[in-house]
Amino acid sequence: MSCPIHPRRLFLCLLISLTFFVVDPSSQHIEVKKKQMREKVREMFYHAYDNYMTYAFPHDELKPLTKSFTDSLSELGNLKLEHLPTDYNGSAVTLVESLSSLAILGNSTEFEKGVLWLSENLTFDIDARVNLFECNIRVLGGLISAHLLAIDPNNRLIQGSYNNQLLRLAEDLGKRFLPAFETPTGLPYAWINLKNGVMENETTETSTSGCGSLVLEMGALSRLTGDPRFESAALRALRQLWRMRSSLDLLGTTLDVVTGEWIEYSSSIGAGVDSFYEYLLKAYILFGKEDYWRMFHSAYLASQKYFRHGPWYHEANMWSGKPTYWQLTSLQAFWPGLQVLVGDIAAANSSHREFFHVWEKFGVLPERYLLDHQIIHPTMKYYPLRPELAESTFYLYQATKDPWYLDVGESMVKSLNLYTKVTGGFASVRDVTTMQLEDHQHSFFLAETCKYLYLLFDDSFVAKRNYIFTTEGHPIQVVSSWHEKLPETYFSGNWTLSKSGAWESRASALSLQVCPPISLNSRHPEQQRESACHVPDEQINHKCWSNKECGVDATTCRLRTCSGVGYCGLWNPL
């Protein structure tokens, strides 16, 4: 069975898992349900957005319980209104984050109003210390995405004149980021003052995500402006980070940008590391640079070998690979969505169902859940309206069209409206055991949570165009002109050798964008290509004592098992 995909399709390979089957999406009942849920999500978005515009704009984020605001992106958030700098007009982070969602919802009027306001009022020439990672994914990414949407004639979002104002703002912000990269290692400081650069005695500690998840936004900025400095800085930091990996291809959580030494050795797919994996794969999709794929493939195999325990992923020491913390973190819920892009649908489905089981158990997803004790972490009981589970649900529905994922989305919408909706917007949950609320509506609720839920029920925005979504949910269209051109004689070392007639070709399931289990040449049905889901057996000679010592088959993505005579293989029948 084959599943050919458009050459630049976002969803690189759609596998049909043995645990479910594709159902005809044209069913009238399903379509009616999707329309009803789409409108409910639309109402959610505008309830959050309108309250932000009424009570918090132009400041960063809304406090829905008190109907006030917070400037949470920078240290300005710790100052009272009368103590704000006289030149501060607000950075309107939630507005920036909402523009791409407004475009997806088809609200060209509000989109254009937002673009005009930002063009006339937003400035980054302020004495404010901001988190580089957060400012990059929220503000720089939001501006770049909105600019690309504004200039796309298919969207028709701007009725008046648009002269690249958002791109100029993005370029100004990108230039203010560059001093953060002036370190002996090339790894950027976690914090930067937008007016004065790196502050004296600034902390040198940062996270793997913080310095390894900048290349999508800064790479896109270089492609749009022709200034290579942004992409070069982000890529240099990413390569330096990769050089610091352990011999197991694992990276720690925090490090020192001056000395290049690791501070926290525990490695995971969760907080502090998560978007590092995400940006390796998505940078490969967006820019076509083979280096990104090589790094991702190695890192992905290591994660499968050292973190995966059935459907769960624990943390492990980066040097030894031994488990450190057996816990689920809500940020890990992005992982099934990433696995969809790789084509590892069976594993994605398995993990996603466990995340949703925890959601059903508590009504929402707690920040940390201790797997070894089956209880919530005592100090991390909160749910800040995070989008990751909705994101993975969207990807899995796109890959399978299984209506069960629509039921998951419906359940999430009901929970959000039941537990977090207040008259002033949507409030974070302070304690999922009591559903006590916290006075904060994060900008990512509009940028991601509502967006992915809407796209789950109405995918018309992505149906005929190819996008990748940044870690903050901002769409960037995949275009061939941004792809690195390779010479005809180039062969990737990652590809699998196969013979075809008198000549040899190299190809992979990812490069050819087909399902791993299929034959690519009907005359040679034995020829199959290796998928990124491949996990080798622990022993080279394939000997084993238990199933834990067996990996994942390279061509079928099926789990290998240990036979009665002690050898790994595909012993279980389909």
The per-residue DSSP string of 84-129 comes to S-TT-----HHHHHHHHHHHHTT-HHHHHHHHHHHHHH----S--E
Which two structure tokens, joined as six digits, stand for 396?
Answer: 């899995």
Query: From the candidates 110, 134, 231, 537, which is the catalytic residue?
Result: 134
Query: From the candidates 112, 278, 344, 388, which is the catalytic residue?
Result: 388
Q: Under a CB-based contact definition with an 8 Å cutoff, are residues 138 and 61 in contact?
A: no
The pLDDT assigned to 89 comes to: 54
The pLDDT assigned to 565 comes to: 67
125 is catalytic: no
The pLDDT assigned to 532 comes to: 61
388 is catalytic: yes
The pLDDT assigned to 536 comes to: 80
The pLDDT assigned to 24 comes to: 55
438 is catalytic: no
Q: Which long-range CB contacts under 8 A does 372-378 form with residues at least 24 apart?
A: 372/326, 376/432, 376/433, 377/327
The pLDDT assigned to 542 comes to: 81
CB proximity list for 286: less than 8 A, separation 6 or greater: 216, 219, 220, 468, 476, 478, 482
The pLDDT assigned to 538 comes to: 83
The pLDDT assigned to 504 comes to: 34
Q: How far apart are CA 157 and CA 339, in angstroms?
A: 33
Q: Tally the C-alpha atoms within 13 A of residue 320's C-alpha that lie toward its C-beta.
A: 7
How many helices (H) and strands (E) the chain has is answered by 19, 24
CA 412 to chain centre: 19
Q: Under a CB-based contact definition with an 8 Å cutoff, are residues 213 and 275 in contact?
A: yes
The pLDDT assigned to 555 comes to: 62
Token look-up 């290349």 returns 215
The pLDDT assigned to 548 comes to: 80
70 assigned to a ligand binding site: no
The pLDDT assigned to 559 comes to: 79
Token look-up 């991702």 returns 296
Q: Kindly give the parts of the chain with pLDDT less than 50.
A: 1-21, 23, 25, 76-84, 86-87, 486-523, 525-530
Query: From the candidates 97, 217, 274, 391, which is the catalytic residue?
Result: 274
CA distances from residue 442 to 23, 426, 434 in whole angstroms, order as listed: 36, 9, 21
Q: Walk me through the domains of the chain, giving residue ranges and CATH numbers.
A: 29-79+89-482 (1.50.10.10), 534-573 (no CATH)
102-111 per-position pLDDT tens digit: 999 999 999 9
Radius of gyration over alpha carbons of the chain, in Å? Answer: 23
The pLDDT assigned to 90 comes to: 65
The pLDDT assigned to 181 comes to: 98
The pLDDT assigned to 409 comes to: 98
291 is catalytic: no
CA distances from residue 254 to 199, 264, 334, 532, 546 in whole angstroms, order as listed: 20, 5, 20, 27, 35
